[in-house]
Chain A
Amino acid sequence: MANIKTKFTVIEGNSAGYWLLVAVLGLLSLGGFWSSYMMFLHGHYMTGMTNAIPWGFPIVMAVYLIGLSAGSLVLSALSSVFGRTEFKPLARISALLAALLLIGALMCIILDWGRPDRILVPFYSMNPRSMFSLNGMLYSTYIGICFVYLWAMFNHKEKLVKLLGFTAVFWAVLVHSGTGAIFGFVGARELYHSPLLPPSFIAAALSSGTALMILVLYATFKFTGRQLDDGLIRRLGLYLAVFIAVVAYLVFIENVTRSYWPGNYAVQKFLLLFGNKYSLIFWIGMIGCGLLFPFIILANPATGKSIGWILVASALVVIGVLAERYIIVIPGQVMPMEMFPGYHIAGPFQDGRMIDYYLSPMEILFGAGITAFVFFLYALSLKFFEMTPDKAAGESGN
């Protein structure tokens, strides 16, 4: 296997199309930064968040990007840790994307603070009991590991690559378990409090990360006129199907467990049946786009081998997991907390009512802008660093 030598090069990056892409992504990023500056300047009333829904779309985006990052990094480690050398050509791109996506996630979290100017406070004032504080440490070390890992790959330090690849996978699991725990550990909210959240976060990270890698790889190779073996995409498609099945199992267990006990009937009725847009996002977004449709596409022999269909399935998963993250973050706040069992409560703090959350244009710009910034950095990195293999052949490693 060592005889397969992959040559990594920079992309040309001189075409009008490339610069147009960079310009559009750059402009969108500026839009995102502007929206966060407006939130900082005038207050969070510019968003859809309220006192009853203190976490809105920026947190959804943060969790989503963290998942994509963890998934990408595991793919990067497939060659170094799990010995799947056919994936070696993708190792650099996926490690780069993992680092950039996590930078994006951290930006989503920090720029969503009421006081992002206090960026230095977490460095000198920590609380080891807080999952946010612990995750801050995990995220920043994770970004560091990604860059050292990339450096080792660039300098062909094979032993270090293997060690770092292993560390990176372990760290990615920690990072995503920690992210799940931000919600899972909250005992006050019925839809958050679940020990299944950390593992199901990892599973959804793997499915969405793989799906994003399929799309990014295909686009990068197509755009730069490089040869990408169909076998590689098909194999990733197979992994994607497996990851989807794991997510589906965990989602099923969680919801069946909650639906069984009468005390949770109200919560489950809201989430699954009568929650209007939340139920729609649950069934069409999370279950349909994230699990059911892509699984049918990938498992069906007629479509599962077609590159076009695999791309469709991947796009569906990337959308579906965003819907899943939304379903994790938002309905847990929309559903009022049971403060006085046996009583209806009414009060000035929107007490005892479903509080609707409206996604504001400001938050959409924020989320889109920071995602654009991630890919802005990605496009520039390909131009300045030797990230991209001249070709990626699929089955040759087997």
Chain B
Amino acid sequence: MPEMDRRSLLKMGAAAIAGTVIGNGVTLYTSPARAEEGGGPPGAAATNALEIPSKGKARWGMVIDNNKCTAQCTACTAACRTENNVPLFGDERYDGHWIRKVTLTPERGGPEKHLPLLCNHCDQPPCQHVCPVAATFTRHDGIVMIDKHRCIGCRYCMIACPYKARTFVFKETSEWTNKDVPKRAHGVVEKCTFCAHLIDQGKIPACVEACNKSGEGAMIFGDLNNPGSAIVKYIRAVATKGIREDLGLEPKVSYTGI
């Protein structure tokens, strides 16, 4: 639980007056006032609660502070596997990856970078454009999802995605520890959902929670439509960049320091 300062208390009061209730145990969260006071870039604050969208609809996005992300840490990927039962078959050809850690080595030499890759939930999602049966769709809050009951398993979306964010279920798996997410059957494509099932309960995605708790606190998740949200403040204060922005897909995940 973040330390309450005057601002967040005020905001909380305002939200309460507006009658915004999003569920049990949900606390409001604002970025630490540190940024405004100290003048440095605001950091990600450890919280497991989701910000309430200010007004109108939310547009969930993520910023990853690549300078904090370390080589050994696997908090986000492990949490994702647990939360979404993403299977490992012990064969890199078929392993599912909703979020994965990669190492970048500059071609002209220099220090390595480590960062997680996940679905960028593009505003212009090529996977959705190419899906022949409209099984991939964008939720009203900008999350790109797959209707697994409609997916025919043609894998055109995997061809179209430049981020390799999608994996196909190549064989049957019995892994189903978290019953909050649907059981998977082979023959359809899957990918990161930004933990939509958690967002709908007013919680933040499992990877972000894990990064805050046992990782380096490198991930900020929030509403890109809310000018008061921590993520928007961060993006305004620090230079961030999406992967392959030149492709024009308008990804909603961006990075500091790539």
Residues of A within 8 A of B (CB): 40, 42-45, 49-52, 54-55, 109, 112-116, 118, 121-122, 125-127, 129-133, 136, 182, 185-189, 192, 333, 337-340, 342-352
Contact = CB atoms under 8 A, between A and B. Distances in A.
A359 to B, nearest CB: 15
A207 B167 CA distance: 37
Contact of A114 (B95, B107, B160, B186): B186
A127 B155 contact: no
Interface stretch (B9-17, B127-135, B207-215, B227-235): B127-135
A114 B153 contact: yes
B156 A114 contact: no
A222 B165 CA distance: 54
Interface stretch (B18-26, B27-35, B36-44, B169-177): B169-177
A125 B150 contact: yes
Interface stretch (B46-54, B56-64, B97-105, B197-205): B97-105
B103 A347 contact: yes
27 contacts: A40-B187, A45-B170, A51-B95, A51-B96, A51-B158, A54-B158, A113-B154, A114-B154, A115-B151, A118-B153, A121-B135, A127-B129, A129-B130, A132-B154, A133-B132, A333-B159, A337-B162, A337-B164, A342-B106, A342-B108, A343-B104, A343-B105, A345-B103, A346-B103, A347-B100, A347-B117, A350-B92
Among B97, B104, B126, B188, the one with the most A-chain Cβ atoms within 10 Å of its Cβ is B104
B170 A51 contact: yes
A132 B163 CA distance: 21
A54 B132 contact: no
A188 B243 CA distance: 12
Contacts of A45: 93-94, 170-171
Nearest to B165: A349
A62 B188 CA distance: 20
Contact of A121 (B92, B101, B150, B189): B150
Among A55, A114, A185, A348, the one with the most B-chain Cβ atoms within 10 Å of its Cβ is A114
Contacts, number: 176
A54 B164 contact: no
Nearest to A337: B162
Nearest to B156: A132
Nearest to B246: A341
A340 B170 contact: no
B172 A42 contact: yes
B109 to A, nearest CB: 11
A126 B150 CA distance: 11
B130 A131 contact: yes
Contact of B131 (A51, A130, A186, A337): A130
Contacts of B93: 45, 50-52, 350
B113 interface: yes
Nearest to B161: A188
Given A45-B170, A186-B160, A339 B243 contact: yes
A337 to B, nearest CB: 6
A133 B164 CA distance: 22
B239 to A, nearest CB: 16
A125 B154 contact: no
B132 A122 contact: yes
A308 to B, nearest CB: 42
Contact of B187 (A43, A130, A340): A43
B159 A339 contact: no
Contacts of B95: 51, 348-349
Given A113-B152, A113-B154, 9 more contacts: A43-B170, A43-B172, A51-B167, A114-B154, A133-B133, A337-B162, A343-B113, A347-B101, A348-B101
A189 B154 contact: no
A115 B130 contact: no
Contact of B152 (A122, A340, A348): A122
Given A340-B258, A348-B97, A55 B150 contact: no
Among B93, B158, B247, the one with the most A-chain Cβ atoms within 10 Å of its Cβ is B93
Interface in B115-160: 117, 126, 129-135, 150-156, 158-160
